[in-house]
Amino acid sequence: MSQTPLLDLSGLRKAYPGVVANDDVTFAIQPGEVHALLGENGAGKSTLVKMIYGLVRPDAGTMMLNGTPFAPAEPRAARAAGVAMVFQHFSLFEALSVAENVALGMENPPKPSALAARITEVSNTYGLPLDPNRRVGDLSAGERQRVEIIRCLLQDPRLLIMDEPTSVLTPQEVDILFATLRKLRAEGSAILYISHKLEEIRSLCDAATILRLGKVVARCNPREKTASELAELMVGTSLKPPKSGGAAPGDVILKAQDLSMPSASAFGTPLRNISFELRRGEVLGIGGVAGNGQDELLMALSGERKLPKGSLYFDGEDIGTRPADMRRRIGVLSAPEERLGHAAAPNMSLTENAALTAARRQGMLARGFVNWGAAKGFAEKVIGAFDVRTPGPNVAARALSGGNLQKFVIGREVMQAPEVLIVNQPTWGVDAAAAAFIRQSMLDLAAKGTGVVVISQDLDELMEISDRFAALNEGRLSAEVPTGDLTMEKIGLMLGGAQTTAMEQA
């Protein structure tokens, strides 16, 4: 049966200085199909999707929507043609209500009361209930995504593009989203689903196109392949899962006791009575959807923000009031989520960025004077040990790709032989090979006796590498549970805020 594809892409090409983002991309999406677009970071998924949505003009190639040529000059044209997109990062104003936000995105918004009624109707029809009068700032990430989806649905789209939609959702919210998408599919709309979550794609999608380095390398039905086969198609080589040293953990090295910290800004998350114990040689995974206090927790543990006495103990010593460089001196190191701007200064060289945290511990300081030769040497060591692809240590941090910079940032801390290492989102936005390397290096560090805290939104990652798991929800930390005892359901509940006390765990 040959039906007209909903969207037919042929020979699309887009090049930027130094890189060809998309090279001769050709595939088709049928109506009523959920089509997955797979690929690592840097494979060209975002660029391709921006071309479909009218944000970027292709250098060559053609697009056909329902058999007619399709070349949107801007997103408005794409929307008028029936293409809608839900981005990974939302464009919502936190201080305005749901209805106001939706109205802002519309060409001719109806009257507020009519709009509110429409929003309620559509959101209930598709199983994403939403109160149009609530302030967006008060909504969870999953609820905010609903606003974005409703915004799209109100335009009756024929093609809905979703970019990494489940990165901010709990497992239960993922189920709700999938039910909505299946309903849309049943109505004849098509969905272009970008993700690297292979199990989800296998459960939801009918067809998949796999990109690697800008080219289409495979087209398949994801249900007929295993997750590791899909991963290998994405990466091009076979990946080995990380192996832990398997040693038994030692004494408690870091202990948080009723750690509380007010939020720094109106839209931040305060930390509330967080308690945990970290043992030497152990990996403690802290999971949680973004926006529940991960950044704040890292800043509290790293020393960027001070804590009251009695909140944080290192090897029995109270370190809550100590500033960051004093904590580094005793061996408490950290790597924040934001690579450029927080973990590293974007315009400074890797040598200077090495001195950022390693100056004291690696002997680069003498009476206040910096030994730049030693800094360069250390940077070169990190670059070598962590396979950072860069011409040399004098390159500015912003010139590195996300994966390579992340390897440098983590490597910088790991090579300082810390007693405790706290990392936030260690492999976010990083290609699969670099991610595997980083995870293995953290396991190796733990095998040597360092206590490692991994804060991450990627549950698969946490299940792979942590010995114990706790969930961060609205600034509260659940009790730690050994990873072996966990099920997806239990994790989902923990993430949703159900507190398990030590008694209930038995």
Partner 1 sequence: MIWLEKRPAPSRTWSAASPIVAVFLTLIAGGIMFAILGKNPFEALRTIFWDPLFHEQFASFSRPQLLVKAGPLILIAIGLSFGFRAGIWNIGAEGQYIMGAIVGAAVGLALYPSESALIFPLMVVAGAFGGWAWAMIPGLLKVRFGTNEILVSLMLVYVAENILASAAVGWLKNPDGAGFPGSRNLSQWDASANPELIAGTGAHWGVMAAVIAVIFAYVVFTKHILGFHIRLSGEAPRAARFAGVNPSLLVLVCLGLSGALAGLAGLFEVTGPAGQIGIDFNVGYGFTAIIVAFLGRLHPIGILLAGLLMALTYIGGELASFMLSIPGAAIQAFQGMLLFFLLGVDVATHYRVRFGRKGVV
Interacting residues toward partner 1 by CB under 8 A: 14, 17-18, 56-63, 71, 302-304, 323-325, 328, 336, 338, 341-348, 352, 355-357, 359, 365, 368-370, 372, 395-396, 398-399
Please state, in angstroms and rounded to a whole number, the distance separating the CA atoms of residues 303 and 352: 21
Strand partners for 92:
none
Please state, in angstroms and rounded to a whole number, the distance separating the CA atoms of residues 291 and 308: 23
Count, residues in the chain = 506
31 dihedral zone (left: phi>0; alpha: psi -120 to 50; beta): beta
Q: Which is nearer to partner 1, 424 or 466 (CB)?
A: 424
Q: What is the DSSP string of 378-411?
A: HHHHHHHHTT--SS-TTSBGGGS-HHHHHHHHHH
**At its nearest, how many Å lie between partner 1 and the CB of residue 326?**
8
**At its nearest, how many Å lie between partner 1 and the CB of residue 365?**
6
Classify the C-alpha dihedral 380-384-386-388 as positive or negative. Answer: positive
Q: Residue 274 corresponds to which tokens in the numbers above?
A: 């967080």
**At its nearest, how many Å lie between partner 1 and the CB of residue 124?**
39
3-class DSSP assignment, residue 420: strand
Q: Which is nearer to partner 1, 129 or 323 (CB)?
A: 323
CB-based contact 166:6 (threshold 8 Å): no
**At its nearest, how many Å lie between partner 1 and the CB of residue 463?**
29
Please state, in angstroms and rounded to a whole number, the distance separating the CA atoms of residues 362 and 374: 8
**At its nearest, how many Å lie between partner 1 and the CB of residue 444?**
24
Sheet holding 7-16, edge to edge: 19-29, 7-16, 60-65, 68-69
**At its nearest, how many Å lie between partner 1 and the CB of residue 483?**
29
Please state, in angstroms and rounded to a whole number, the distance separating the CA atoms of residues 228 and 221: 14
| Long-range contacts at 395-401 (CB < 8 A, ≥ 24 apart) | 395/349, 395/350, 396/346, 396/347, 396/348, 396/349, 397/340, 397/344, 397/345, 397/346, 397/347, 397/348, 397/349, 397/350, 397/353, 398/340, 398/346, 398/347, 400/350, 401/42
Q: CB-based burial of residue 475 (10 Å sphere; 0-12 exposed, 13-18 middle, 19+ buried)?
A: buried
Please state, in angstroms and rounded to a whole number, the distance separating the CA atoms of residues 232 and 226: 10
Q: Which is nearer to partner 1, 173 or 337 (CB)?
A: 337
Q: Which is nearer to partner 1, 14 or 45 (CB)?
A: 14
**At its nearest, how many Å lie between partner 1 and the CB of residue 56?**
7
Q: Which is nearer to partner 1, 424 or 441 (CB)?
A: 424
**At its nearest, how many Å lie between partner 1 and the CB of residue 448?**
25
**At its nearest, how many Å lie between partner 1 and the CB of residue 345?**
4
**At its nearest, how many Å lie between partner 1 and the CB of residue 503?**
39
CB-based contact 468:484 (threshold 8 Å): no
Q: Which is nearer to partner 1, 32 or 346 (CB)?
A: 346
Radius of gyration (Cα) for the chain, nearest Å?
Answer: 24
Strand partners for 472:
477
Q: Which is nearer to partner 1, 399 or 479 (CB)?
A: 399
> Maximum distance among all alpha carbons in the chain?
79
φ, ψ of residue 392 to 5 degrees: the values are: 175, 180
**At its nearest, how many Å lie between partner 1 and the CB of residue 337?**
11
Q: Which is nearer to partner 1, 176 or 399 (CB)?
A: 399
Q: Which is nearer to partner 1, 153 or 307 (CB)?
A: 307
Q: Which is nearer to partner 1, 47 or 97 (CB)?
A: 47
Please state, in angstroms and rounded to a whole number, the distance separating the CA atoms of residues 479 and 501: 6
**At its nearest, how many Å lie between partner 1 and the CB of residue 139?**
26
Q: Which is nearer to partner 1, 185 or 361 (CB)?
A: 361
CB-based contact 261:307 (threshold 8 Å): yes
Q: Which is nearer to partner 1, 213 or 345 (CB)?
A: 345
Q: Which is nearer to partner 1, 57 or 448 (CB)?
A: 57
**At its nearest, how many Å lie between partner 1 and the CB of residue 198?**
32
